[in-house]
Chains A and B, each alone.
Chain A
Amino acid sequence: MLSENIVKTVLEAPDIAKKRKAGQFVILMIDEKGERIPLTIVDSDPVKGTLTIIYQVVGKTTDQLARLEVGDIIQHVLGPLGHPTEIEGIETAVCVGGGVGIGVLYPIAKALKEKGTRVISVIGARTKSLLILEEETRSASAELHITTDDGTYGRHGFVSDVLKDIIDSGQKIDRVFTIGPVPMMRVVANVTRPHNIKTLVSLNPIMVDGTGMCGACRVTVGGKTKFTCVDGPEFDGHEVDFGLLMSRLRMYIDQEQEARERCRCGKND
């Protein structure tokens, strides 16, 4: 448990751990009646054959996942899926993460640092107790900035405010990576757009198979339909239709609520 509803799980998947690169994800299915959900791989250990995932408990599946104990089995794990993050030849990058998105951002920052990129990280949460991976992110960054919406820790405000200041300070930024709630990514993309700073966002839409077969995860990027699972999960933030992404994420909100309620009542456990 990293904060009150953000959880870290380490799972054994040796073949995936061997091949996985920063930015890739897995599809998990807890049991035969479960749904398939995509989760970005935060870390992998090819020697131990393990993967680390970090997720927010938002529905039945993540709730069940959080309740698993050491030694329990996740029935199906598929991956590594999606394109790895492009990390070559970047001098200075700003990594902007919010909430559970910091879990996805951290491996990118780490991979960038290993390539010699100067990493400036800006991470934020609603309140101090929800902030995750502060120390890990610090170790991957030349500079670390922290914000909370309520001012309980770090700067009072939003990650985008800090990003604006960094841009205004006039230093050269080659790339911005931003991962977090969709509205946050949209604001960050809007901040960098007038400055023409290439901004990559990592998207986490609803998926089923994760191999390009169903099209559930389609997003509109630059007016064209893309499948997040095979074309992404990272896209140019200046081109993504965030409004559409948000409405598609809410497609099953009633059913998700129903499944979660039944799960809590123990009817379906």
Chain B
Amino acid sequence: MTDQEKTEKKEKKERVPRQGMPEQDPGVRVTNFDEVPIGYSPETAMLEAKRCIQCKKPGCVSGCPVDVDIPGFVQLVADGDFLGAARKIKETNCLPAVCGRVCPQEDQCEKLCVLGKKWDPVAVGRLERFVADFERKAGTIEIPALPASTGKRIAVIGAGPAGLTIAGDLVKMGHGVTIFEALHKSGGVLIYGIPEFRLPKSIVDAEVEFLQKLGVKIVLNAAIGRVKTIDDLFAEGFHAVFLGVGAGAPVFMNIPGENFSGIYSANEYLTRSNLMKAYRFPEYDTPIAKGKNVAVIGGGNVAMDSVRTALRLGAENAYIIYRRTKTEMPARAEEVHHAEEEGVQFTFLTNPIEYIGDEKGWVRQMVCQRMELGEPDDSGRRRPVIIKGSEFTIDIDTVVVSVGTMANPVIPMTTPGLDTNRWGYIVTKDETGETTRKGVWAGGDIVTGAATVILAMGAGRKAARAIHDYVMSL
């Protein structure tokens, strides 16, 4: 029987729809930073898991950058063996509670689910999240038995998704792993970028603690490139280095008035709120502008995170200013939907060209231009074209510029033999992430430019295997 036939057979007996995710009411959640989705109950999870038809050639797995055995774990959920399901996912994914929340499943596993052809796909992401949360709450997270030490030491630079993944993989192969992180807390974008209401920080902390229990050493406040160079690390006896430093440098638009007070990069705005907990000022010392009229420039997930943060900080008007239309927005549909529900005002086909400040140097107005869509550009999206004479102003007191990020140059600058491309991203020889410098691998945003958590994790996984082969050959 083919999978298609199975689907048809299932159609006759199956009337269970894709299970919805219970969420905090929009009117309530804009007043707090608690997580928006509440999570499946065990009953709902089993009901959803039973929708899976257990394809022989599962499309979903081929859509997963870290090859999670999706039908395998879903079957265990259907059987009520939630801890078994958690172990199954963790065979290839060390951060399931994170991935269940922030992966774009609609473009990966769920997109390829055969049920999705006629009905809605199995809610793989929601099930993954349920399983990981169940295991964490049960307090039964097992520390797997580790192989004997290989005596090899690997330095991982950056405690973000790529670095945490590779550290977990390498330590499980018996290597000594030390992560060097520049910030005072591990997690990278998971901790400074993604807000609490989308990814509670206690989850990230739990994942990091798990790695430490496995034996991964973490050195915080270590600006590699400054306090130690890559050469210094080799001199200290590390056998290989993995660079997972992300694409952390913010991009500004270089338009007049962009340095007025009240104008932030999305990185700064989110770092203040998430990492430094400025939303809890003055209990925490770091302040943040609590604007009444906040404009966020951009249409990606980071822009959605910023604008929804602005609402929670008390904005009366929170605008998304995007130069194309809703169709071209790179943000996940779910994030856009949540933002709409919460009262974000979307201003499409609009681009700022200048900021106007008051006598104190604080931004007060934004001059914008209307755009229309022209021919498709390199990305395949229709290029926005300026409509002449369409300038108008919007009154605002806070702006968050969320138009992308680029590579931070500090490590390439201080590492001889490490090649970068013209955008400053590290050049790799193959998909394992081997760089032009012997013994050095790289992966995640510092290679690809800003992408997703799961792609960075996939890069970490591939590099782990290559580094293992390399250090064992030394």
Closest to A64 in B: B285
Which bracket fits the contact residues of B?
35 or more
A220–B260 alpha-carbon span in the complex (Å):
10
Closest to B225 in A: A211
A179–B29 alpha-carbon span in the complex (Å):
48
- Which stretch (B72-80, B269-277, B341-349, B455-463) binds chain A? B269-277
A247 touches B360 (CB 8 A): yes
- Which stretch (A30-38, A108-116, A132-140) binds chain B? A30-38
**Is B388 part of the binding interface, using a Cβ–Cβ cutoff of 8 Å?**
no
Q: Taking A212-B410, A213-B248, A268-B282 as contacts, is the C-beta distance between A251 and B262 under 8 angstroms?
A: yes
Report the minimal beta-carbon distance from A62 to chain B, rounded to whole angstroms.
11
Q: Taking A35-B276, A255-B282 as contacts, is the C-beta distance between A29 and B271 under 8 angstroms?
A: no
A211 touches B283 (CB 8 A): no
Interface string of B274-288 (1 = CB under 8 A from A): 001100011111110
B250 touches A214 (CB 8 A): yes
A248 touches B361 (CB 8 A): yes
Residues of A within 8 A of B365 (CB): none
Which secondary structure characterizes the binding site on chain A? Answer: mixed
A252–B288 alpha-carbon span in the complex (Å):
8
Residues of B within 8 A of A244 (CB): 259, 361
A211 touches B282 (CB 8 A): no
Report the minimal beta-carbon distance from B378 to chain A, rounded to whole angstroms.
26
Closest to B268 in A: A214
Residues of B within 8 A of A33 (CB): 277, 283-285
Report the minimal beta-carbon distance from A3 to chain B, rounded to whole angstroms.
25
Which residues of B from 239 to 277 have beta carbons under 8 Å from A? 248-250, 252, 254, 258-262, 264-265, 267-268, 271-272, 276-277
Which residues of A from 207 to 265 have beta carbons under 8 Å from B? 208-209, 211-216, 218-220, 225, 230, 243-244, 246-248, 250-252, 255-256, 258-259, 262
B227 touches A80 (CB 8 A): yes
A16–B227 alpha-carbon span in the complex (Å):
6
**Is A75 part of the binding interface, using a Cβ–Cβ cutoff of 8 Å?**
yes
**Is B403 part of the binding interface, using a Cβ–Cβ cutoff of 8 Å?**
no
B282 touches A215 (CB 8 A): no
Which residues of B from 196 to 255 have beta carbons under 8 Å from A? 220-223, 226-228, 248-250, 252, 254
B261 touches A251 (CB 8 A): yes
The contact of B271 among A208, A230, A256, by CB within 8 Å, is: A208
Chain A: interface residue total (CB-CB under 8 A): 44
A76 touches B408 (CB 8 A): no
Q: Taking A33-B285, A215-B267, A259-B285 as contacts, is the C-beta distance between A81 and B228 under 8 angstroms?
A: no
A76 touches B220 (CB 8 A): yes
**Is A90 part of the binding interface, using a Cβ–Cβ cutoff of 8 Å?**
no
A268–B271 alpha-carbon span in the complex (Å):
22
**Is B329 part of the binding interface, using a Cβ–Cβ cutoff of 8 Å?**
no
**Is A60 part of the binding interface, using a Cβ–Cβ cutoff of 8 Å?**
yes
Residues of A within 8 A of B471 (CB): none
**Is B438 part of the binding interface, using a Cβ–Cβ cutoff of 8 Å?**
no
Q: Taking A33-B277, A208-B272, A215-B268 as contacts, is the C-beta distance between A15 and B228 under 8 angstroms?
A: yes
Q: Taking A77-B221, A248-B361 as contacts, is the C-beta distance between A35 and B261 under 8 angstroms?
A: no
Most buried by B among A61, A80, A230: A230
The 10 closest A-B pairs by CB, nearest first: A247-B361, A255-B287, A214-B268, A35-B285, A76-B184, A215-B265, A213-B248, A252-B287, A251-B261, A35-B286
| Sample of 25 A–B contacts (CB below 8 Å) | A15-B227, A16-B227, A29-B184, A33-B283, A33-B284, A34-B284, A35-B276, A35-B285, A36-B276, A76-B184, A78-B221, A208-B272, A211-B410, A212-B409, A213-B249, A213-B250, A213-B267, A213-B408, A215-B264, A215-B268, A218-B252, A219-B259, A220-B259, A230-B409, A250-B360
